[in-house]
Amino acid sequence: MHLRDGIQTHATVAQRYAHSVETGAIERDPAQEKVVAALDRLTDEICSKRLAQKSSALGWLFAKRRETQAPVKGLYIHGGVGRGKTMLMDMFFELLPARRKRRVHFNDFMADAHDRIQKHRLARKNGEAREDDPIPPVARQLAEEAWVLCFDEFSVTDIADAMILSRLFSALFSQGVVLVATSNVAPDDLYRDGLNRGLFEPFIGLLKRHADVLALDSPTDYRLEKLNRMPVYITPLGPEADRLMDEEWELVTHGQPVGATTLTVKGRQVVVPLSAGDAARFSFADLCENPLGARDYLEIAGRFSIIFIDHVPVLAEGKRNEAKRLILLIDTLYDHHVRLVVSAAAPPQDLYGGRRGTEAFEFDRTASRLIEMQSRDWLDGWAARQAEKTPPAKAVTSAETEKF
């Protein structure tokens, strides 16, 4: 428990972090400890504000004085992938003794905000709402539901989001909302090279005024370290293979919303059963038993940097079409340097049982590539390329900005 004026109040992030170190769940990291201390300071400030608001049974008499209280300044934590940002946010959110708190992926929050704005516009059109500007009432709704907002993966790539962020968060901050966010980029790099970025830049100044910016500059990518200890080709098939695939998927997607999505290829819809960020998960049947072709695989390889494929069987002579698709799929993923995690019935060299036709010859190349994609050199090269990547800003037409 945390002590304030000799009174036990709440467990701290520092205590939870120390326990994780002592039990061997994580390694002590000075860069992470700086963030831990900042999160605990923020927790104290949030608790002090909450107690001040509840300190008098006649609180309504002091409403004006409460309104002039200095707002709590939030925290914006940025750093590379795998540095522990999500882990620390998990600790903070779980231990924060505030009832109206919300933890949400930033993209999901913005989708919710856009939906509310649209509903308000419809209500105004139908005479059911008074205010012409939807931003203030939407901000009041959001603040009433949660005055501590915790965002994972704060990244602005959509111009529709960029155009309303400054006004939306000005309204939220005026309602006393406290922002805690993690991101892979510093505030000044948000929406870099985005369309009409000049209209977005006021939000950067607003963010810096209402949140302390802290870099989590640990030299170690802990997610990648754990990932590198996991197998990328798991055989034979069975409950243990399924468990390992699920464990690795959880490691890759931790802290991100997971769900189905679709890719549009020449007007057709390609279903991705599970995706989160730049990771996607398919079964062999999804990719090789369905009538997919080169363009579909190119779209998948261009969209995701990590692909999971479950339950690759041994392909007998009668499975030539499936074998052709697997050959094409692996060639595409290999050429695009996609990290591949596979559960299969047999080692790569034993996956194709056919002896006739060009597939038998071509599958030798597929087996060789599957073996190479397990190598340390391949995986280190993939990691280096990921470190160089920056999220692209979504380009849209000017017509889409007229709504804002």
CA–CA gap between residue 189 and residue 222 (Å, rounded): 23
pLDDT for 138: 93
Please give the share of the chain, as a percent, with pLDDT higher than 70. Answer: 83
SS3 content of the chain, % helix, strand, coil (to 5): 50, 15, 30
Q: Report strand pairing: 233-234 vs 339-344.
A: parallel
CA–CA gap between residue 114 and residue 117 (Å, rounded): 5
Give yes or no on whether 3-215 and 233-373 have one common fold: yes
- Cut 0.75: pTM above it: no
pLDDT of 207 strictly over 80:
yes
pLDDT band of residue 223 (cuts 50, 70, 90) is low
Which residue bears the tokens 């907002």? 149
Identify the weakest region by mean pLDDT among 125-129, 206-210, 220-224, 273-277. 220-224
Q: Best-predicted range by mean pLDDT among 49-63, 238-252, 352-366?
A: 238-252
- Which CATH number fits the domain 3-215, given the four candidates 2.60.120.260, 3.40.50.300, 2.60.40.1180, 3.40.50.1820? 3.40.50.300
Q: Kindly state the helix (H) or strand (E) to which residue 63 belongs, with its residue range.
A: helix 63-67
Q: Class of 233-373 per CATH?
A: alpha beta
Class of residue 167 by CB neighbours under 10 A (exposed 0-12, middle 13-18, buried 19+)? middle
Could you state, in order of their start, the residue ranges of all structural domains in the chain? 3-215, 233-373
